[in-house]
Amino acid sequence: MYRGKGSGKMKRNNGEVVVALRDGQPHLISWGGNTYYVKQIITTWEERRWWSRTPRRVYFQVVTNRNALEIYRTKDRWYLGGVLNEQVV
Protein backbone atom coordinates (compact mmCIF):
# COMPACT_ATOMS: atom_id res chain seq x y z
CA MET A 1 0.00 0.00 0.00
CA TYR A 2 1.19 3.51 -0.79
CA ARG A 3 0.54 6.10 1.88
CA GLY A 4 1.62 9.70 1.40
CA LYS A 5 3.48 11.35 4.24
CA GLY A 6 4.49 14.94 4.72
CA SER A 7 4.44 17.56 1.99
CA GLY A 8 5.21 15.21 -0.89
CA LYS A 9 8.74 16.59 -1.37
CA MET A 10 11.39 14.39 -2.85
CA LYS A 11 15.14 14.17 -2.85
CA ARG A 12 16.33 14.89 -6.39
CA ASN A 13 18.95 12.61 -7.89
CA ASN A 14 19.13 12.45 -11.72
CA GLY A 15 21.53 9.47 -11.69
CA GLU A 16 21.37 6.83 -14.39
CA VAL A 17 19.57 3.58 -13.51
CA VAL A 18 18.88 0.27 -15.26
CA VAL A 19 15.20 -0.52 -15.82
CA ALA A 20 13.74 -3.85 -16.93
CA LEU A 21 10.38 -3.63 -18.65
CA ARG A 22 7.37 -5.92 -18.65
CA ASP A 23 4.68 -5.13 -21.21
CA GLY A 24 6.36 -1.78 -21.85
CA GLN A 25 6.17 -0.71 -18.20
CA PRO A 26 8.95 -0.56 -15.56
CA HIS A 27 9.18 -3.85 -13.67
CA LEU A 28 12.64 -3.86 -12.03
CA ILE A 29 14.95 -0.95 -11.23
CA SER A 30 18.66 -1.41 -10.50
CA TRP A 31 20.29 1.49 -8.69
CA GLY A 32 23.17 1.77 -6.27
CA GLY A 33 23.84 -1.96 -6.26
CA ASN A 34 20.24 -2.73 -5.27
CA THR A 35 17.29 -4.12 -7.18
CA TYR A 36 13.88 -2.55 -6.63
CA TYR A 37 10.73 -4.41 -7.63
CA VAL A 38 7.96 -2.18 -8.97
CA LYS A 39 4.78 -2.96 -7.08
CA GLN A 40 2.64 -0.13 -8.45
CA ILE A 41 2.83 2.64 -11.02
CA ILE A 42 1.30 5.71 -9.41
CA THR A 43 1.28 7.99 -12.44
CA THR A 44 3.05 8.59 -15.74
CA TRP A 45 3.42 11.62 -17.99
CA GLU A 46 5.46 13.00 -20.88
CA GLU A 47 7.37 16.23 -20.92
CA ARG A 48 9.23 18.08 -23.60
CA ARG A 49 10.88 21.41 -23.08
CA TRP A 50 9.91 23.35 -26.18
CA TRP A 51 12.77 25.82 -25.71
CA SER A 52 15.39 23.10 -25.47
CA ARG A 53 16.83 20.57 -27.87
CA THR A 54 16.79 17.86 -25.21
CA PRO A 55 14.74 14.79 -26.07
CA ARG A 56 11.33 14.30 -24.55
CA ARG A 57 11.13 12.59 -21.20
CA VAL A 58 8.63 9.98 -20.10
CA TYR A 59 8.19 10.06 -16.33
CA PHE A 60 6.94 7.34 -14.00
CA GLN A 61 6.20 7.63 -10.30
CA VAL A 62 6.39 4.11 -8.92
CA VAL A 63 6.10 2.28 -5.63
CA THR A 64 8.78 -0.36 -5.14
CA ASN A 65 9.42 -2.94 -2.48
CA ARG A 66 11.55 -0.32 -0.65
CA ASN A 67 10.22 3.15 -1.36
CA ALA A 68 8.53 5.38 -3.90
CA LEU A 69 10.67 6.63 -6.79
CA GLU A 70 10.35 8.95 -9.74
CA ILE A 71 12.17 7.65 -12.83
CA TYR A 72 12.25 8.96 -16.37
CA ARG A 73 13.35 7.81 -19.81
CA THR A 74 15.03 9.79 -22.58
CA LYS A 75 15.42 7.80 -25.79
CA ASP A 76 17.10 4.60 -24.59
CA ARG A 77 18.39 5.70 -21.15
CA TRP A 78 16.70 5.71 -17.76
CA TYR A 79 17.35 8.07 -14.86
CA LEU A 80 16.28 8.37 -11.26
CA GLY A 81 14.54 11.71 -10.94
CA GLY A 82 14.23 11.43 -7.19
CA VAL A 83 13.25 9.48 -4.14
CA LEU A 84 9.80 10.53 -3.00
CA ASN A 85 9.43 11.51 0.63
CA GLU A 86 6.65 8.99 1.06
CA GLN A 87 6.13 5.90 3.15
CA VAL A 88 5.53 2.49 1.63
CA VAL A 89 3.66 0.16 3.94
pTM: 0.77
- Measured in whole angstroms, how far is the alpha carbon of residue 3 from the centre of its chain? 17
pLDDT of residue 49: 74
| Tens place of pLDDT per residue across the chain (89 aa) | 444 544 455 556 678 999 999 999 999 999 989 999 999 999 999 987 777 776 789 999 999 999 999 999 988 899 999 988 655 55
- The domain ranges of the chain are 2-88
3-state secondary structure 49-86: CCCCCCCCEEEEEEEECCCEEEEEEECCEEEEEEEECC
Amino acid identity of residue 81, one-letter, is G
Q: Are 31 and 15 in contact (CB under 8 A)?
A: yes
Nearest one of 63, 27, 59, 65 to 46, comparing CA atoms: 59
81 to 23, 54, 84: CA distances (angstroms) = 22, 16, 9
